[in-house]
Structure 1
Amino acid sequence: MKKDKKDINVPRNVPANQVISLEISMAVKRYSQPKLFIPRKNGKPSVAPGNRWYVSFYWRTDANGPLDRKFSFTKKINRLKTAKERRIAGNHLVAILTRALERNWIPDKEERKRVKPGKRDGSLILGEALDYAYKIKVKAGKSPTTLKGYEFHKNRFLEWAKNNGYYGVKADRFSIDHFYEFLDWLRFEYVNEQTGQEVSGSSVNNHRRSISSLFTTMKNERLIPVNFIKDIPDVDSDPVNNKAFTHEELKLLKAEMLRSDPYLIPFFSFILYPLLRPRENCRLRVKDLNTENWLIQVQTKTEVLSVRRIITKIKPIIEEMNLEQYPGEYYLFTNKDQPAPWNANLQSRYDHFSRRFLEIKNKLGFGREYGLYSGRHTALMDLYDSLISQGKGEMEALLALMPYSTHKSIGGVKAYIRRHRKVIPADHSDIYTLDF
C-alpha cells in the first residue's frame, strides 16, 4: 500500500521540493578483518624455511582513532609441512580471531592488565579468572582427586572457549547463554579422538559441577556478579560405568584372578565386604586395621575418618595377610603384592590397581561399563536384594543400607540402587477391594 504524503515525516519550515540531507552515524569497528598472509615463491605458496605464514589484523588503540596497531598470530601454523595444511589451519585461525573480535575480545594485553591478588576491578578475562579461581581451590587444601577433576574440566572448557572466541572476553561478560553453547558442544559435538567415544550425560554433569564450583569462587572473589551455572539443571543421564556383577560373573572373575593375579582377590574383597571405595583401599595402612576389635579406620572422600566393622566373611583373608609382620605405617595394598612403603600419590596407586583389574576383565570380555567400583555396586545390590527377599519394603531396605553404604541421605542410596535396577513392587492383590 502506497504511503500518503501526509504520513511522511519531513522537517518543518522546509519547502517540499527541497533536497533533504540526512546524516546517519554508525559505530566504528575497532579492528580490521583478520587476513591470512601466504608467502609466495615464483607465484606459488611457499613453505620454505623463513617463509612465515600468519594471520594479522589492525587495531585502534584509541576506540575513535586510526587503525594504528598490527597484531599477528601464527598458532603453530608454520609447523605444518604442506601449503594445503597451512592454508586450512590459517583459515581456521582467521575464523576464530574474527569470532573473538566480534565478541569484544581485546587483543592488547596492556589494556587488560592482570588483576593482582586483592584487586577487584573486574578486568580479568575469562581464562585468567578461571585459572585464578583454581589457584584459590589449591590454596584451600582441596584433595588431589578433587583438584584433578577441577583442572581436567577447566582445561577442556577453556580449550573450547579459545576455539570459540570466549577465552579473552571479560569474565563478567560471559553469560549463561554462552555456557549453554559449551554444554551443547559437549553433548552433541565432542568426540574423544583416541577412543571415538562421545561424552556421557554423567560426564557432562561433572563438567558443569566443577566449572560451577570455580564460578562460585569467582563470585566470592568479586570477579563476577553471580554464578548462573549453579541454577542449570543436570542433563538426563543413564550411567553405564561400574555396572554390578551377577553371582555367576563374580565366580568367573575370582577364577581368573586366581589364575592371573591372586593379589587382586584381597584387594577386591575389601571393596565387596567392608564396602570400601577403590581409592579408600589405596589409602589404607596396616595400622588402620584393628584385629582385636575387628574394626577398620579409613579416610573417605566425604569424611576425615570413618570406622567400618570387619565382618566374618573377610576375616580369613585378613588373617592370611599376616599383618603382624609389617610396620603400621606401611600401605596395606601396594605394587609389591604385600604391605610396604610406596612413594606414589593416591592417583598413581589407584591407577596401578585399575590397570591390573583391566587385564582381568578384558580376558573375560567384560566391557567398559565394568570397573573396580563395580565391586561396591555389586555388594550393595546383593544386600538390597537380600533385604527385599526377607520381606522388607523398598524404603525400609534403603534405610537399612545407609549405615553400610555411608550415604548421608536416603536419596543417595536410592539413586545408587536405581542405577542398576528398576524396583518392581510386590504383589498387591491383598489391598484391592475390586472384584471384576
Structure 2
Amino acid sequence: MKIEVNITKEPTKEPISFEIVDMSKKKYSEVKIYIPKKKGRKSVAPGDKWYVYFYWRDPETGKMNIKCKYYRGINQKKTVAEREEVAKAYQRSYQMLLEQGWNPLKNKIKNQRSSPKKQKHTLKSAIEYALAIKIRNTKESTARDYKFRSQFFLDWADVNFKSGLPLEQFKLEDFYQFMDYLELDYINKASGERLSNTSIDNTRRVISALFTELKNKRLIDTNFVKGIPKLKSEPLKNRPFTHSQLIEIKKYLEEHDPYLIQFISFLLYPILRPIEITRLKVRDLNTEDWILGVETKTEAFSYRKIITKMQPIIGQMELKGYPGSYSLFTNENKPSIWLPKQEKSKVNHFTNRFKKVKKALGYGKEYGLYSFRHTAIGDLYNSKQAEGIPEQQIIYDLMPITRHKSEAGLRNYLRNIKIALPADHSDIYTIDF
C-alpha cells in the first residue's frame, strides 16, 4: 500500500505532527459524459442538458461522493454529432487535468485557464485543447473539417515521435517537416494521388488557427505557422459552365432528373451554396413578399430577395400543405423530414446525383455543383460589363448579390473562376493587320 507523509511545521517548542494518507485510494473517478435520452435515443431537445462529469473523493469522509459536472457550452450545439464531438474533447481535457494533479475543489477551471503558462502541455494535448475551444461555436461541417485535419497532423506527429514533445519544444522547423511530408511524401491510398496545393493550404490554415488559440491562451508566445506562405495553386474543381453547356444539362435533366433542376435553380438565382440549400425549410420561403431566409456560411441567418426569374420555379414546387418545419429539398424529391447523422450527407446526396449527369454528358471532375454558382456570378459580371458599366461600379453592384464582404474578396473570386471577360477594346487599337 502506498502512503503519503505530510509533515506540518509547528512552533519550535512544540512537537512536529505527522499525517499519513492512504494513496491507494484514487481521488477521482473516470470522466464521463451524461447524455439525456428519449425513447432510447440521444436527445438534443430543449431542456435536455448534456455535460461531462466525474466524482471526487470527499477529504473528510473518504467517500467518492462529490459530483463535479461541467456544461462548458456543449448545449449550444444543435445536433447529436456536434454535442458528442465537443463533449468528448472536454472529457479528454478534464481527464488530462485530473491526471496532472488538478483539484476541482481548490482550483476552479477558469482559474486554471487564467494562467495557462502554468499548465504543462504536450503537442498532442495542446492541439486537442485548442480544438475543443475552436469548435465550440462552429457549424457541424466546419467542426468536422477541423477535427479531420488536426487528427491528420497528430497522426503524423505520432509516427514521427513529436506528439509527446512539450509544446514549447515544437518549433517552426518541425512544422516545415510536416509541410514537406504533405507536399512530397503523402499519397492517398485509395486514389493513389498526392494532395493538391489547395488541400495542403487548408490543412496549414486549420493548424494555424489552433496555434492562434494557443497563443490567445498564452500557452505559446507566437504563432509561427501563421507566417508560412501559401502554396501557389491552380483551382481545378467547379469550373464555370458555358451557356451551351447549361442548355445541354437542363435538357438532360428534364428527361432523367427534373427534381435536380429545382435544386440547381437555387444555386443560379439566389446564388446559394449547396449546403445552404439543404438547410432550407419550407417556412423559409415567404411567397407573399418574395423573401428567402438563409442560414449561411458566415452568418447565423440572413435574408435574400427572391427575384422574378426564380418565382415560377418556386410555384412549380407546389409547397402548399407541407409543414413549415419540413426540409425544402430531400432525398424523397419533395419536402419532408430529413435528419441524417451528418449534415454533409445531404449535400453528398445531390452531389452524387449530379455525378451521374456529368458521367452521361462526358464532363470531367473539374465540374461540380459549385460550377453553377460560379457560372451565375460570372454571367452577372459579364452582362453588366456588356452594358458599358465601369468595373468599379460592377463590383459595388455585385457585392450585395454575391454576399462578398469586401471588394478585394470579390475581385479575387472573379480572378479564380476566370469567367470575368474584359470589355471589347477594339477602339483603342492603332494596329490594322
Q: TM-score, normalised by structure 1?
A: 0.70
For 2:180, give the aligned amino acid: D
Compute the displacement of 1:372 (Å): 1.1
Do structure 1's residue 125 and structure 2's residue 122 form an aligned pair? yes
Compute the displacement of 1:271 (Å): 0.5
Do structure 1's residue 360 and structure 2's residue 378 form an aligned pair? no
CA–CA distance in structure 2, aligned partners of residues 336 and 227 of structure 1: 48
Do structure 1's residue 374 and structure 2's residue 371 form an aligned pair? yes
- In the alignment, what sits opposite 1:254? 250
Do structure 1's residue 208 and structure 2's residue 204 form an aligned pair? yes
Q: From the CA coordinates, give the structure whose radius of gyration is larger.
A: 1
SS at match of 2:293: strand
- In the alignment, what sits opposite 1:312? 308
Compute the displacement of 1:113 (Å): 6.0
Asked if the contact 2:378/2:419 (under 8 Å) is kept, the reply is: no
Compute the displacement of 1:423 (Å): 5.8
Asked if the contact 2:131/2:210 (under 8 Å) is kept, the reply is: yes
Do structure 1's residue 385 and structure 2's residue 382 form an aligned pair? yes
Asked if the contact 2:382/2:421 (under 8 Å) is kept, the reply is: no
Equivalent of 1:170, from 148, 153, 166? 166
**Change in 2 beyond 3 A, CA 1:363/1:424:** closer
CA–CA distance in structure 2, aligned partners of residues 323 and 387 of structure 1: 34
Asked if the contact 2:237/2:365 (under 8 Å) is kept, the reply is: yes
SS at match of 1:308: strand
Compute the displacement of 1:238 (Å): 1.1
> Per-residue displacement from partner, 1:293-325 (whole Å, max 9, x unpaired)?
111110111112221111122211100111122
SS at match of 2:320: helix
- In the alignment, what sits opposite 1:417? 414
Matches within 5 A, 1:332-351: 332-344=328-340, 345-351=342-348
CA–CA distance in structure 2, aligned partners of residues 196 and 377 of structure 1: 29
Unmatched tracts of structure 2, length 5 or more: 1-95, 103-108
Asked if the contact 2:382/2:420 (under 8 Å) is kept, the reply is: no
CA–CA distance in structure 1, aligned partners of residues 428 and 218 of structure 2: 59
Q: Percent identity?
A: 45
Matches within 5 A, 1:108-147: 114=100, 118=112, 120-138=117-135, 140-147=136-143
Matches within 5 A, 1:2-401: 114=100, 118=112, 120-138=117-135, 140-344=136-340, 345-401=342-398
**Change in 2 beyond 3 A, CA 1:156/1:115:** farther
SS at match of 1:324: coil
Q: TM-score, normalised by structure 2?
A: 0.70
SS at match of 2:304: strand
Asked if the contact 1:133/1:215 (under 8 Å) is kept, the reply is: yes
Asked if the contact 2:215/2:222 (under 8 Å) is kept, the reply is: yes
CA–CA distance in structure 1, aligned partners of residues 186 and 390 of structure 2: 43
Count of residue correspondences = 324
CA–CA distance in structure 1, aligned partners of residues 419 and 318 of structure 2: 43
Asked if the contact 1:172/1:225 (under 8 Å) is kept, the reply is: no
For 1:393, give the aligned amino acid: P
- In the alignment, what sits opposite 1:77? none
SS at match of 1:419: helix
**Change in 2 beyond 3 A, CA 1:226/1:277:** same
CA–CA distance in structure 1, aligned partners of residues 390 and 184 of structure 2: 40
**Change in 2 beyond 3 A, CA 1:253/1:114:** farther
**Change in 2 beyond 3 A, CA 1:229/1:115:** farther
Compute the displacement of 1:273 (Å): 0.7
For 2:346, give the aligned amino acid: R
For 2:248, give the aligned amino acid: L
Compute the displacement of 1:114 (Å): 4.6
> Per-residue displacement from partner, 1:201-249 (whole Å, max 9, x unpaired)?
2111111111111111122223222211122221111111111111111
CA RMSD of aligned residues (A): 2.5
CA–CA distance in structure 2, aligned partners of residues 146 and 125 of structure 1: 25
CA–CA distance in structure 1, aligned partners of residues 420 and 387 of structure 2: 15
Asked if the contact 1:331/1:340 (under 8 Å) is kept, the reply is: yes
Asked if the contact 2:280/2:294 (under 8 Å) is kept, the reply is: yes
For 2:359, give the aligned amino acid: N
Asked if the contact 1:289/1:297 (under 8 Å) is kept, the reply is: yes
For 2:285, give the aligned amino acid: L
Asked if the contact 1:297/1:307 (under 8 Å) is kept, the reply is: yes
- In the alignment, what sits opposite 2:402? 405
SS at match of 2:411: helix
> Per-residue displacement from partner, 1:162-193 (whole Å, max 9, x unpaired)?
22221111111111121122122212222211
Compute the displacement of 1:430 (Å): 6.3
CA–CA distance in structure 2, aligned partners of residues 115 and 429 of structure 1: 77
SS at match of 1:124: coil
CA–CA distance in structure 2, aligned partners of residues 115 and 146 of structure 1: 33
For 1:256, give the aligned amino acid: Y
